[in-house]
Amino acid sequence: MPVIHDITLTISETLPVWPGDPPVQMSQPFSLARGDFCTVTRLDISAHTGTHVDAPAHFIPGGAGVDALDLNVLIGPAWVTAVPDVPEITAETLAALPIPPGVQRLLCQTRNSARWARGETSFTADFTAVAADGAAWLVEHGIRLVGVDYLSVSPYEEVIPTHQVLLGAGVIVLEGLDLSAVDPGAYELVCLPLKLAGADGAPARAVLVER
Ligand SMILES: [Zn+2]
């Protein structure tokens, strides 16, 4: 059996959310414990909760929704790269990383993942993210999917440019990964976002299969 690493955050009411997004709420309109004939959970969440994919419609007017994203990009060979302890992943940072030629799916393992390993329950604005020139580097180098290990691919203080560069170029952005328990290297990525009609994003289950 293949070794499968689950790099998905668990959705629960203690999961940090982006400031301004609704907190995760899980309730049970039907409950065996209350004498109902079954248990049914109701979920109130943003489309950008936990491990999730951004679609072009998130920042590009008229852009594609998450239901139109290419499954051939969401599933396939991926490279996990360890990023040194930097506040922003710039073009210079990326150029110095040992990324093999031909990589199309790049997952950036940073200091952020330690927060998930520690089970932190509050949002921090102090996370490592991709700078706008880093986003341009990714596009220029043929990256079709980029994954990051905090809730946004872009720095907290400057959310627009990085998203616009990546989503404008059709790069799939996978956010909120927990890469704390995987080694850098080559894997097979399987990432399946919920099929929400025309939505700007969707939670996803993401796993890395050892090759
Ligand atoms: Zn997002």
The model's pLDDT over 37-82, given as tens digits with 9 standing for 90+, comes to 999 999 999 999 999 999 999 999 999 999 999 999 999 999 999 9
Specify whether the backbone of 73 is left (phi greater than 0), alpha (psi in -120 to 50) or beta.
alpha
pLDDT at 74: 98
Q: Which two tokens stand for residue 90?
A: 């710039």
Q: What is the pLDDT of residues 91-147, one digit of tens each?
A: 999 999 999 999 999 999 999 999 999 999 999 999 999 999 999 999 999 999 999
**Identity of the residue numbered 201:** G
Q: Give CA angle at 17 (146, 6), nearest 5°.
A: 50
Average of per-residue pLDDT values in the chain: 97
Centre of ligand 1 from the C-alpha of residue 138, in Å = 18
Q: Tell me if the domain spanning 4-210 has CATH number 3.50.30.50.
A: yes
The catalytic residues are 58
Centre of ligand 1 from the C-alpha of residue 22, in Å = 13
Q: Check pLDDT > 90 for residue 83.
A: yes
Bridge partners for 210 per DSSP: 187
Centre of ligand 1 from the C-alpha of residue 73, in Å = 17
Q: What is the pLDDT of residues 10-47, one digit of tens each?
A: 999 999 999 999 999 999 999 999 999 999 999 999 99
Domain ranges for the chain: 4-210
Ion ligand 1: protein residues whose beta carbon lies under 5 Å: 48, 54, 175, 201
Centre of ligand 1 from the C-alpha of residue 143, in Å = 18
Centre of ligand 1 from the C-alpha of residue 116, in Å = 17
pLDDT at 211: 83
pLDDT at 41: 98
